[in-house]
Each structure stands twice: as structure tokens, then as C-alpha cells.
Structure 1
Amino acid sequence: MGITTTVHLNFRDRALQALEFYRSVFGGRLVAFTYGQAQDVEHPADTDRILWGEVRADNGFHVMAYDVRENQTYDAGDRPFFVSVRGEDAEEITGYWKALSEGATIIADLGPSGWAPLYGMLEDRFGVTWTLDIATPYAG
């Protein structure tokens, strides 16, 4: 028996746009369901907001997202989490980096670091902080 962990991103009115963008970067299938489709509308502004959405790709990428309801507080905060994408192929990681970099703020340029042959950090155009790197065994 095992478990998996999946990053779940919280937005207000931007979940679908973010999921579409991440699908364009990593590929995969996007599924999204609105509050209106679920007949779970507490405030008219929620009707077309995403109640549940995800992108899942054959390469292992998986992210979930939703739009916080109108009657709930929402504060994106300042880097409350990072989404970490680790791989073994520099060309693949570099491709993801280039796509995510569009409209992003670069925090650490993609390049060699003291702990990985390739590492970078950016805040994408949706305010989500991503780290991308090449996985290396722990040298303890």
C-alpha cells in the first residue's frame, strides 16, 4: 500500500487559466468542474469558478487547483509553498523552465548549484513559486 502527494493550488478566479497554462507546459489531460456544474453556488460570483480541477500527465506531472468561494477569505500570501519539479534529464527540465519562465519573475536562474547539476527557482505569472532541478542522490 502506498500514498502519493499532489500539490493543490488555491486561486480566486484564475484556477482554470493556471491549469491550462500548466497543461501547455507539462502536457497531460485537464479536467475542471465549476461550482455551477456541481449545483453548489452560494454566491453568484462562484458560478463559473472552478470547484475542482487537475492536470495529470503520463510523465508523472500532477497538480490540482480550485477557486476559493466568494464568501471565504483568500490571500495568496508570499511564497506559502513551492512546487518542485525534479527530473533526471537536463533537456526535459530546461524545456519546462523555458515554458514556465514566460511572464515569470526569476528568483534563481536555471544553472548548476551546490547541491544539483541544474537548479532554478521562479515565480510564474500566477504567483506560484516553482523549483526545477536534476535529482541527485544524497551524499550524506
Structure 2
Amino acid sequence: MAINLNPYINWRGQAREAMAFYQSVLGGELTMMTFADMGGTAMGVAESEVDWVMHSSLSVSDAVLLMGADHPSHVPGEPQTQQVSISGPAEDEATLRAWWEGLSEGATVHQPLEKAPWGDTFGMLSDKYGVDWLVNIAGAPSEG
């Protein structure tokens, strides 16, 4: 049995823009529903937030599904810092590097995508929507 864990990211009013950006980087099919689609103010959502995203899903492949939503003001708490980790084999290096480059647009790079001491290629960044991404491309350990 295959089990997939799928990141679910929350924002406050940026989900539509962020998920469209991720689709431009990762590809795939994006679906969205708003709070208005599900009853809007009848659900307790402020009139100014009814067009926010209640749920979105970006299906990139059988193994990659990214989901996200806006966190309306009537729901207690704040969206927390989100972290998404992507890892893959050396055979997918071109795709993973392309994703890194796309995610780097407007981002703060904390660790450039480069060869790490454990033999993989690894990088960390915070994208323009405040989401932290870790990208790891498997490689052979260095001899030495």
C-alpha cells in the first residue's frame, strides 16, 4: 500500500495568488473553491473574506499534491509558518532544479541549492508568500 503525505498550507488572503504561483512553478492541475461557494457569510465568514479560498488542490503527479486555503478572521489562531520538503532521486534532478529556480523568484534563500556534506544536493528558502521550502536531490556520498 502506498501512502502519501500532502502539505496543506494556510495564508490570510493570499491562497489564490500563492497557489497560482505554485502551479506556474510545479505545473499540474489546480482546483479552488471559495468561502462564497460554500455559503459565505452564512458560515460566519466576513463579507470582505467570502472570495477567499476555502480549499485548493494542486495535483502535480500521483505522488505530489499540494493543498492550501485562506485562514478567515473568524477562525481562532493565525496561520503558522509553513514548511514544505521536496526530495527526489538524481534522475529527477532537472525537474527539482527547475522547481527550485521557480520557487526562488522573490524568495529569501537561506541555503543555496548545492552539494551537501552527506552527498545530496540540498537547499532551503522562504518564498515570497512566507512558506519555507527544503529541496533535496539524492546523490552519492562523497568519498574522502
> Do both share a fold (TM > 0.5)?
yes
SS at match of 1:58: coil
Alpha-carbon shift at residue 137 of structure 1 (Å)? 8.6
Amino acid at match of 2:57: E
Q: In structure 2, what is the equivalent of residue 6 of structure 1?
A: 6
* RMSD of Structure 2 on Structure 1 (CA): 2.0
Given candidates 71, 75, 100, the residue that maps to 2:103 is: 100
Alpha-carbon shift at residue 73 of structure 1 (Å)? 3.9
Distance 1:12 1:124, change over 3 A: same
Alpha-carbon shift at residue 108 of structure 1 (Å)? 0.3
Amino acid at match of 1:20: A
Q: In structure 2, what is the equivalent of residue 56 of structure 1?
A: 59
Query: Within 2, Cα distance between the matches of 1:112 and 1:90?
Result: 12
Q: In structure 2, what is the equivalent of residue 19 of structure 1?
A: 19
Query: Within 2, Cα distance between the matches of 1:51 and 1:76?
Result: 14
The answer on whether the counterparts of 1:35 and 1:49 sit within 8 Å (CA) in structure 2 is yes
Alpha-carbon shift at residue 5 of structure 1 (Å)? 1.2
Q: In structure 2, what is the equivalent of residue 115 of structure 1?
A: 118
The answer on whether the counterparts of 1:123 and 1:129 sit within 8 Å (CA) in structure 2 is yes
Q: Residue 129 in 1 paired to residue 132 in 2?
A: yes
Query: Within 2, Cα distance between the matches of 1:12 and 1:100?
Result: 20
Give 5+ residue unaligned stretches, structure 2: none
Q: In structure 2, what is the equivalent of residue 82 of structure 1?
A: 83
Alpha-carbon shift at residue 2 of structure 1 (Å)? 4.8
Q: In structure 2, what is the equivalent of residue 68 of structure 1?
A: 71
The answer on whether the counterparts of 1:83 and 1:129 sit within 8 Å (CA) in structure 2 is yes
Query: Within 2, Cα distance between the matches of 1:135 and 1:74?
Result: 37
TM-score by length of 1: 0.87
Give 5+ residue unaligned stretches, structure 1: none
The answer on whether the counterparts of 2:121 and 2:139 sit within 8 Å (CA) in structure 1 is no
SS at match of 1:37: helix
Distance 1:20 1:3, change over 3 A: same
Runs of 4+ more than 4 Å apart: none
Query: Within 2, Cα distance between the matches of 1:117 and 1:137?
Result: 7
Query: Within 2, Cα distance between the matches of 1:101 and 1:123?
Result: 8
Structure showing greater radius of gyration is 2
